[in-house]
Chains A and B, each alone.
Chain A
């Protein structure tokens, strides 16, 4: 068995939570002045790391119940969320390539699931 339904739902949750971590890290890295200490003490980077830890907890609970090689690639769904936040928070433009990339990620996750035993 490649993974349980429960494991798949936990990975979806992990990818959703993790996408907020990416936003916090990006936001923090733009504010930090370049020193390692200023990064480690930056509240946004700390919050981003905590968000990643929470996301990891959901992911760890997921991979107990399935194959790593099946569940890990599904984390790429986080890019879909991240792209939406990039547009809303940083005003980064949606481009044709971004749409194509999101489409391919969704197709890839569908292909993985077609092979689910």
Chain B
């Protein structure tokens, strides 16, 4: 027991860093879903009459600016997490955002929920998770 504890001491600090990185990325997914909701809400008042009008209607659009800021915040947190854990492990976790966005879209935006949509999202989430699962680990 004692030797095991002594050996695992440096490892457990690595495990803690890894765990903190994973929790940070989970927080990123929730912030990311909130950002998507705000982008969708803000997009309804964007006009496309001209390039100038489009830029103007995006720049002075509170939900859009807030949504993009949250997106930026989650990106900064993600970069920070990347330093403690491999991209290959953290990227699949980011895919949880797809599930949150689907739930939020149906519950708060009243969007339709079809068999094809649920199947598509589940297959995509599985695919993204597989991307990070290296064969040799």
Contact = CB atoms under 8 A, between A and B. Distances in A.
Contacts of A39: 76, 79-80
B9 interface: no
- The prevalent SS among residues of A at the interface is helix
B110 to A, nearest CB: 10
A100 B123 CA distance: 11
User: Interface majority SS on B: helix, strand, loop or mixed?
Assistant: helix
Contacts, number: 153
Interface residues of B, number: 56
A69 B44 CA distance: 16
Interface centre among A67, A68, A106, A109 (most CB of B within 10 A): A68
B109 A34 contact: no
A13 interface: no
Contact of A73 (B54, B121, B136): B121
Contacts of A67: 105, 109, 111-112
Interface string A7-48: 000000000000000000110110000101001000001000
A77 to B, nearest CB: 9
Contact of A105 (B46, B82, B114, B127): B127
A114 B123 CA distance: 14
Contacts of A61: 43, 46, 48, 54
B82 A26 contact: yes
Contacts of B12: none
Given A68-B40, A70-B117, A76 B95 contact: yes
Contacts of A69: 101-102, 105-106, 109, 111-113, 117, 121
Nearest to A76: B124
Interface string B93-115: 00100100110111001011111
Contacts of A83: 131
Q: Which 3 A-B pairs have the closest CB atoms?
A: A115-B116, A104-B127, A112-B120
Interface of B: 36-37, 39-40, 42-44, 46, 48, 54, 58, 64, 68, 71-72, 75-76, 79-80, 82-83, 87, 91, 95, 98, 101-102, 104-106, 109, 111-117, 119-136
